[in-house]
Structure 1
Amino acid sequence: MKTLLLVPALLAAAVAAQAAPVTYEIDPSHTYPSFEADHMGLSYWRGKLNKSAGTIVYDKATGAGSVDVRMDLASIDFGLDAMNAWATGKDFFNVEKSPGASFKGRFDGAKDGVPTQVVGELTLNGKTRPMTLTVRQLKCMPHPMLKRDYCGADATGSFDREAFGLAAGKDWGFKMNVDLRIQVEAVAKE
């Protein structure tokens, strides 16, 4: 009888050991938050942020975890130098005053150990607002060179830039909605 009672305890301990959260460090050479914003109703300007950092904590067994992505606004890249200079200048991001943005959240809605969304907050221009990102894909595998666990994901969401005090162009007909996409890859810390 004691043996029968011991089996469930051992199984529970084995599952708990497999379900341990792992901390991953974002790979800045494979992580590029990008965005899309209206240009007077005529077209959409697309750009990316070339410098980002942060960590992800992920429990592959349960789908639980958290995300902390920090973005360097001075690294904004529209593919047009004049637009980059304007966006980082005093009339928009004013990177001298507010050099970065961040997204922090927790995984939610896991299906088979894979989260379907990240519920969190975007901080931009000194203001923090709630934001939810939809996880479009997430995959982990052994890194071919580092021989450590390596995960990648693609998450999307949108926000109203006026809520962050960034209403430039509104009087000219610019829509205030911005679509954000975070393409991220991260390697398990040693």
Structure 2
Amino acid sequence: MRRSLPALAAVAALAAVALPAQASNYVTEPTHTAAMFEIDHFGAGVNRVRFDKEEGTIQFDPAAKTGRVELSIDAASLSSGVAPFDRHLKSAEMFDAEKHPTIKFVGDKFHFDGSKVSAVDGQLTIKGKTHPVTLKATKFACYQSPMLKREVCGGNFEATVDRTQWGLDYGLGMVTGKDVKLIATVEAVKQ
């Protein structure tokens, strides 16, 4: 019995709809992934600090509009460009990097604007304290990398948080306020 081409196409379409969507796995690409923060300095300027070591995994299903991200940041890898300031930030008065070497973000709810990720809700852990944070996307795209010959998805994400939630209280009301702008630029390669 011969089946017509339209009938085969219909069967294939039904099979595609009936199969559950599968999330693809991605691993962060270190040369295009960075975490940083900005904080006011006496109202005269902004201090910017970057973390130089981070790694993460992402499960992403754009069709189902779901995902999960786990990003780990080495607290001792922070760099402001000023060594004495870096030492202070790593000290027990601030990040206490020796006792709490890892900063972690785990996001398990992706929001979309059309086909693009617009935000990720998750939990941010600093100094052993965990609080909810929503990272809003200012950019997001997936593309076929000409160098890696694989799909890469990534974006720039931002949030403003109250640093005192994590016990980062030094200089409060003297040097600076509570608000800190978090910036995460992430690109991840499909595995």
Please, what TM-score do these two structures have when normalized by structure 1?
0.89
Letter in 1 for 2:179: N
Given the alignment of the two structures, is residue 185 of structure 1 paired with residue 187 of structure 2, yes or no?
Answer: yes
Contact kept in structure 2, 1:62 and 1:113, CA below 8 Å: no
Q: What is residue 87 of structure 2 aligned with on the other side? A: 85
Query: What secondary structure, in the 3-state scheme, does the structure 2 residue paired with 1:109 have?
Result: strand
Letter in 1 for 2:64: T
Q: Which one of 120, 140, 143 corresponds to residue 141 of structure 1?
A: 143
Query: What secondary structure, in the 3-state scheme, does the structure 2 residue paired with 1:172 have?
Result: coil
Label 1:12 to 1:114 Cα distance change in 2 as closer, same or farther (>3 A).
Answer: farther
Q: What is residue 101 of structure 2 aligned with on the other side? A: 99
Label 1:44 to 1:105 Cα distance change in 2 as closer, same or farther (>3 A).
Answer: same
Letter in 1 for 2:155: A
- Unpaired stretches in structure 2, ≥5 consecutive residues: none
Label 1:157 to 1:126 Cα distance change in 2 as closer, same or farther (>3 A).
Answer: same
How far off is 1:15 after superposition? 4.5
- Unpaired stretches in structure 1, ≥5 consecutive residues: none
Contact kept in structure 2, 1:63 and 1:111, CA below 8 Å: no
Distance 1:111 1:18 in 2: 22
Letter in 1 for 2:13: L
Distance 1:70 1:15 in 2: 35
Distance 2:106 2:19 in 1: 26
Q: Among the aligned pairs, what percent are the same residue? A: 34
Q: What is residue 115 of structure 1 aligned with on the other side? A: 117
Label 1:173 to 1:84 Cα distance change in 2 as closer, same or farther (>3 A).
Answer: closer
Q: What is residue 28 of structure 1 aligned with on the other side? A: 30
Contact kept in structure 2, 1:18 and 1:61, CA below 8 Å: no
Distance 1:129 1:32 in 2: 21
Letter in 2 for 1:93: F
Contact kept in structure 2, 1:34 and 1:181, CA below 8 Å: yes
How far off is 1:107 after superposition? 3.8
Q: What is residue 67 of structure 2 aligned with on the other side? A: 65
Q: Which one of 163, 166, 185 corresponds to residue 165 of structure 2?
A: 163
> How many correspondences in the alignment?
188
Distance 2:176 2:169 in 1: 9
Query: What secondary structure, in the 3-state scheme, does the structure 2 residue paired with 1:11 have?
Result: helix
